Amino acid sequence: MKVLLNTSIKHYEHCRAYFSDTEYIPTENLVWAAGVNGAEVPGLPAEAVTRNKRVTVNRWNQVEGLPNVFAIGDLANMVTEDMPRGLPMLAPVAQQQADQLAENLQRLLRGEAPKNFVYKNKGAMAIVSRNKAVVDLPKNVHFNGFFGWLTWLFVHLMTLVGFRNKVVAFVDWAFSYFSSDQALRLIIRPFSRKDVKDDKGKKSAEHRTATPEYNPTPPAIQTPA
């Protein structure tokens, strides 16, 4: 694996992912995972919309310039001293903001001053492969590997609502683990790549002439003979 830092893809053409005018990565598969953009909301002042179409809010989740409009979660861009680029777009942030905003709305109705939102970082986890995960907890606690994987499973199982959902998820995970069934849930149909070019600009027909063993259809979706 090769990681390119401070590099962005400019465009994709002829099975080439260009990150400059001349430099490119040859590939037939391009997965775009560059983050999340907010949905445009008509009527918001231009100064309230920031990068990634997120909406600037104060510490009460109040939209800038609109005293009666509030935003939470991924759409809300709340800048603090600890987070000068805004709070991360994570589920715990949205959950905590929702609780605080509900309390603040009650306080406003009573004529009381709202409380500033303070994010309580409970850590972050991610599965990196089978039986392996990384875990970052507050107070500089970090661990990984199999124990990190078990921790990820336990935490995510406990956060599900209802006993039935926990049991169903556990059984589903156990079946997938022991059967190695990824259950992608994709509907895949055979297709022709007549117009697709490789990194050298050749079409599939040209490949068939040059290399008889070439088959433009991926093995996973080939029709048995």
CATH of the domain at 79: 3.50.50.60
Between residues 128 and 116, the one the model is more confident about: 116
Which residue range(s) make up the domain with 15? 7-36
User: Does the pLDDT value for residue 36 go beyond 80?
Assistant: no
Judgement on whether residues 52 and 94 belong to the same structural domain of the protein = yes
User: Does the pLDDT value for residue 210 go beyond 60?
Assistant: no
Does residue 64 fall inside a structural domain?
yes
Calculate mean pLDDT across residues 45-57.
87
Element of type H or E holding 93? helix 91-109
Please say which residue of 85, 109, 133 terminates a domain.
109
Least confident range from 88-97, 99-108, 135-144, 192-201: namely 192-201
Does residue 143 fall inside a structural domain?
yes
Judgement on whether residues 81 and 133 belong to the same structural domain of the protein = no
Binned at pLDDT 50, 70 and 90, residue 104 comes out as very high
Query: Six-digit token pair at 213?
Result: 């063993």
Does residue 128 fall inside a structural domain?
yes
Does residue 93 fall inside a structural domain?
yes
Does residue 213 fall inside a structural domain?
no
* Burial of 79: CB neighbours in 10 Å, binned 0-12, 13-18, 19+: middle
pLDDT digits (tens, 9 = 90+) for 154-187: 988 888 888 999 999 999 888 888 886 665 555 5
Count the domains in the chain. Answer: 3
Does residue 220 fall inside a structural domain?
no
Scan for tokens 């709202």, then name that residue: 114
Least confident range from 53-57, 74-78, 138-142, 191-195: namely 191-195
The contacts of residue 25 (CB under 8 Å, 6+ apart) are 16, 17, 19
